[in-house]
């Protein structure tokens, strides 16, 4: 027999479902743009909750509540049912309890406590999407793709993603040991990290050489677009830019509007990104509105397997508009939109509601952005020159060159270039490409 409380729960779920269908709230949702397609008519939609399956749920709830080896209150069981329902949808939909909801809000502002890891769930384990710059995770040597199998000797298998994240967060100064499986290794690795208050710098900039600027975006927070404009102002204050590198490697994404704002910095007009979903206000279009803040200087965007979500939107938009050369390796491929739907008692659900598409209509989901020029991460060592190699100027009675100087001209930046190639091969290749583009542009002007 099914008890009365289970039947009441079933009736309550039916009532709540009907209410939610008409009153779905969204947080920080932009004004809806013209819809790309009309949603199906309500009379063509399938029933919200089939009664037979609802009876099965109520019966299962009653059996667990009454027969499980330990007593569990009904509130916990219902919360677990919601978690299970969302965890079976896709890797990014999740139930957010009060603490998880607060953590999410802290992350978008770039100030929270923990290790500085962007992670996802894969086959029951925690997969590292990217370690964030200047955090304990980045300093420890953790890499995108690492699979975390234990936290302080406690197996991750069986944890939800939120539970694993909660375990990795804690008081600043406290330590945690991560057991990690890395592709190509025969044995797991162990990393001991000290938790810190994570204050992630969204944007950094510097000149690599005279005229060649570098901007690194660690993640897309509220205000990142303005930070990129400020970074450009600082670079141009040091001299005219001949080229710019935008580094989106290991950038896990973040706020959609910030990705649009950053793309708008480098574009004059046209579509940046659009989204498509089942509900009308999931179909949105974002277009460039401002002039190119760089004046159209050559632009190279660096990406890798840790480039995800909002950073893929930027790379895709600049690639489709032929505004930048995308260099690196295939990106992560997270092309879905998550909407935070608040519930009562300061809780919420994070639900995948749409997919991203680049201006040319490419879906980013599970494919990512394919770079224009493939450059893998590599270790470069300088080959030793042969001291016995003879050149023309070493031969006796060689003819003068007519320039009034037999000395070979020194290569500008030779030592700095060698150091950059050894420390960051991909960045060095991007800088080399920018120099080549400028040499060709100058030759065309002279011709």
**What is the set of active-site residues?**
309, 320, 334
Residue 11: CB atoms within 10 Å:
12
Q: Are 346 and 170 in contact (CB under 8 A)?
A: no
Q: Which residue has the tokens 């994070």?
A: 350
Q: What are 29's two structure tokens?
A: 């949702």
Strand positions, DSSP E, 290-402: 299-303, 325-328, 336-342, 348-357, 373-374
Bridge partners for 363 per DSSP: 357
Q: What are 408's two structure tokens?
A: 């070979």
User: Whole-angstrom Cα distance, residue 122 to residue 124?
Assistant: 5
95 φ/ψ angles, rounded to the nearest 5 degrees: -90, 130
DSSP string, 74-89: HHHHHHHHHHHHHHTT
Categorise residue 353: left if φ over 0, alpha if ψ from -120 to 50, beta otherwise. Answer: alpha
Q: What are 382's two structure tokens?
A: 């300088």
**Stretch (H or E) spanning 168:** helix 161-168
Nearest to 28 by CA among 186, 252, 220, 256: 256
Nearest 5°: the CA angle 438, 444, 447 is 140
User: Whole-angstrom Cα distance, residue 245 to residue 181?
Assistant: 33
Indicate the angle between helix axes 74-87 and 4-22, nearest 10 degrees.
Answer: 50
Chain Cα centroid distance, residue 240: 31
User: Whole-angstrom Cα distance, residue 196 to residue 193?
Assistant: 9
């Amino acid at each position: 027999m099914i008890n009365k409380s289970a039947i009441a729960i079933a009736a309550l779920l039916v009532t709540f479902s009907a209410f939610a269908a008409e009153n779905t709230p969204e947080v920080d949702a932009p004004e809806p743009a013209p819809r790309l397609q009309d949603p199906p008519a309500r009379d063509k939609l399938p029933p919200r909750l089939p009664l037979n399956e609802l009876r099965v749920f109520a019966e299962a709830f009653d059996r667990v509540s009454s027969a499980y080896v330990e007593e569990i209150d009904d509130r916990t069981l219902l919360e677990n049912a919601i978690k299970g329902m969302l965890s079976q949808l896709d890797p990014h939909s999740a139930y957010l309890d009060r603490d998880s909801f607060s953590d999410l809000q802290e992350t978008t502002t770039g100030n929270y406590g923990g290790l500085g890891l962007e992670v996802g769930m894969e086959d029951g384990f925690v997969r590292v999407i990217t370690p964030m710059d200047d955090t304990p995770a980045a300093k420890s040597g953790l890499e995108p793709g690492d699979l975390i199998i234990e936290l302080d000797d406690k197996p991750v298998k069986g944890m939800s993603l939120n539970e694993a994240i909660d375990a990795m967060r804690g008081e600043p100064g406290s330590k945690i040991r991560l057991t990690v499986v890395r592709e190509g290794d025969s044995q797991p690795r162990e990393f001991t990290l000290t938790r810190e208050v994570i204050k992630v710098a969204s944007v950094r900039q510097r000149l690599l050489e005279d005229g060649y600027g570098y901007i690194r975006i660690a993640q897309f927070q509220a205000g990142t677009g303005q930070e990129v404009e400020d970074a450009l102002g600082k670079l141009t204050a040091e001299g005219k830019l001949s080229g710019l590198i935008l580094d989106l490697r290991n950038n896990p994404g973040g706020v959609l509007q910030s990705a649009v704002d950053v793309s708008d910095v480098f574009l004059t007009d046209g579509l940046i990104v659009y989204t498509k979903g089942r509900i009308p206000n999931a179909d949105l279009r974002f277009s460039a509105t401002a002039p190119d803040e760089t004046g159209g200087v050559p632009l190279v965007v660096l990406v890798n397997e840790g480039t995800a979500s909002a950073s893929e939107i930027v790379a895709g938009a600049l690639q489709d508009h032929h505004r930048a050369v995308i260099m690196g390796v295939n990106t992560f491929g997270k092309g879905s939109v998550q909407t935070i739907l608040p519930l009562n008692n300061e809780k919420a659900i994070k639900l995948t509601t749409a997919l991203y598409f680049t201006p040319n209509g490419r879906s980013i989901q599970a494919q990512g952005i394919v770079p224009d020029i493939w450059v893998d991460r590599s270790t470069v060592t300088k080959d030793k020159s042969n001291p016995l190699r003879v050149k023309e100027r070493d031969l006796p009675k060689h003819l003068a060159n007519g320039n009034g100087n037999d000395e070979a001209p020194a290569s500008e930046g030779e030592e700095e270039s060698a150091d950059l190639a050894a420390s960051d091969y991909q960045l060095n290749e991007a800088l080399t490409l920018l120099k080549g583009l400028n040499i060709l542009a100058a030759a065309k002007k002279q011709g």
